[in-house]
Amino acid sequence: MSTSQLPEAFRDLEPYIAWSLSSERERIAKRIATPMDEVIEFHGKISARLEAIIIYLNQYPYSQMPEDGQRLCDMALSLVEISNLVEMYKNPAVLNMIEPERFVPYE
Amino acid sequence: MQTRMIDKQWSEKYPGVGKGPVATEPCISPEYFERERELIFRRHWLNVGRVDEIPTAGKYFVRELEVCKVSVLVVRGNDDQVRAFHNVCPHRGNTLVLNERGTCPGRFGCGFHSWAFTPEGKLAFVPDEENFFDLDKSQYGLSAINCEVWEGFIFINLAPMPKQSLREFLGGVATQLDNSPFSEMKLLKTYKVEENANWKTGLDAQNELYHLPFQHRYTIGDSFLLKDGKYCRFSNVNLYNYHSVWSCEYNPAHKPLPTEALLNRMDSALTNIRFDKRISDFDWYLIFPNMALLLFTGPSGDFFMTYNFWPLSVDRCLWEMRYHFPPAENVGQRLAQEWTIGQLRDTLMEDAFQHEKIQKGLASRACSHMVMQDEEITIRHFHEVLECEMAKV
Ligand code: FES
Ligand SMILES: [Fe+2]
């Protein structure tokens, strides 16, 4: 019996389960707390599977996601959170932005 | 709409708007700020939210308008009407509702002596009523604040007798955007930041694109059409009595980032809600005094944002940003929305940083005025309207 928290086809992403965070506040905190080389590794692994993730999750209406699918979705949201750091800013944050803890998201 | 990459076209379209220096004093003077409380914020219609925040009877939210030292309770009554009240108990002045939002459990009960009010603001129950002296309960309902709704946007006006209806006040903006599909989009995300900046310092910095290729070179510098690949040009500017709108086109040469490109390609949502009355790809309305309404065209449907800059003191403000999108049908669409939100968020975080640096510079009184070019005409217009309103006694 497996203890995987992700859908069967995405078990290879299990090592990155700590990125499966349901709120933007948590995703930002994780981004800030993670060294850049680990962010780059996560980005490489998940973005290679992003298309497959979307095709898989699109079989569910957005409001009726099973739990393992929701965890996969939250992981993809973390990829979205960090994608610009890796693809554009090449830095843990944009230069010259206000301190993230002062810019508060409400969902 | 084809952007004309020519210089000084807006002052030609609106020759009545000045070209001279704009004083910095209004952004730093405590005395000016004190007068703004009365002449601007207690006299004009102010947007406090949208009806979808209180979709059903009894739902309410509270907004603290620190600039007027007023706490506003906005509630949908059992008759489906949206009303605004002073969030104050008329018995002895206690603050009535302590939560920021919620659903009225039949009555709003005061925490002091349990006077109870209906969601329509009527005084329904007074404990030990017989011990009062000819108490006429009909005289002690909640104190109403003028409240009107346009296209789902809730506005309040603290003047005892507003000199115009909301509709008259909105004027050309309302004409331009009547019957737009605002209500088909839902509030998805709010950001709030308390800035060490005058409310106008923040608002002015948002009210132009001149800075875009420079300040935002790391984020969205190439998103909009540029003259000679270097400088932003609006595709249109309209000035109204109080308000204004500028528009611009997206840059067709913009190179999407890998995740952006993939998400755009995979966004398979069927909903395709469009603002028919959009002027260009991106329209930025300033609704006097402190609101901006931003209409965007997106890859799979349009979306809109609002900004509200709430003064806290002469050099502090609360900037609220709200994103409204069509409800996501599937994960592909939701991820594409989140990418768009995040991209803009980082840009706005750059802006918030800048607002404070500008305020610091202005407060030093190193410059007595600001110089503005043609693409900053809507800032000029705003300051002219403000001056005009401040001169009315
Ligand atoms: S002050 Fe509210 S019941 Fe007395
Ligand atoms: Fe900006």
Q: On the CB side of B321, how many CA atoms lie within 13 Å of its CA?
A: 22
- Cross-chain residue pair B218–A95, CB shorter than 8 Å: yes
Q: How far is the CA of B358 from the centre of ligand 2 (A)?
A: 12
Choice among B13-27, B159-173, B257-271, B327-341 with the minimum mean pLDDT: B257-271
CA A12 – CA A20 distance, rounded (Å): 14
Report the pLDDT averaged over residues B2-20. 93
Position A2 in a domain? no
Q: Which residue bears the tokens 């709704």? A: B149
Position A44 in a domain? yes
Q: Check whether B379 has a pLDDT greater than 50.
A: yes
Q: Is A64 exposed, middle or buried (0-12, 13-18, 19+ CB in 10 A)?
A: exposed
Pick the CATH number of B48-168 from 3.20.20.80, 2.60.130.10, 2.102.10.10, 3.90.1310.10: 2.102.10.10
pLDDT tens-place string over residues B39-91: 999 999 999 999 999 999 999 999 999 999 999 999 999 999 999 999 999 99
Q: Residue B189 is nearest to which of A62, A100, A105, comparing CB atoms?
A: A105
Q: What percent of chain B has pLDDT over 70?
A: 99
Confidence of residue A1 (pLDDT cuts 50, 70, 90): very low
CB B391 within 8 A of CB B216: no
- Expressed as residue numbers, the domain containing A53 is 12-90
Q: How far is the CA of B235 from the centre of ligand 2 (A)?
A: 18
Name the closest residue on chain A to residue B269, using Cα atoms. Answer: A58
Residue B183: strand, helix, or coil: helix
The CATH code belonging to domain B9-24+173-390 is 3.90.380.10
Q: Check whether B182 has a pLDDT greater than 80.
A: yes
For residue B99, which amino acid is it? N
The answer to whether the peptide bond before residue A105 is cis (omega within 30 degrees of 0) is no
This complex has an ipTM of 0.96
Per-residue tokens: A42? 């996560």
Residue A34 main-chain phi, psi, to 5 deg: -100, 130
Q: Check whether B331 has a pLDDT greater than 70.
A: yes
Residue B353 main-chain phi, psi, to 5 deg: -60, -45
pLDDT tens-place string over residues B205-221: 999 999 999 999 888 87
**Min distance B230 CA to chain A CA atoms (Å):** 19
Q: How far is the CA of B266 from the centre of ligand 1 (A)?
A: 57
Domain spans of chain B, in order of start: 9-24+173-390, 48-168
- Cross-chain residue pair A98–B192, CB shorter than 8 Å: no
Q: What is the CA radius of gyration of chain A?
A: 14
Q: Please name which ligand lies nearest the alpha carbon of B112.
A: 1
Position A41 in a domain? yes
Q: What is the pLDDT of residue A46?
A: 97
CB A65 within 8 A of CB A75: no
CA B202 – CA B214 distance, rounded (Å): 17
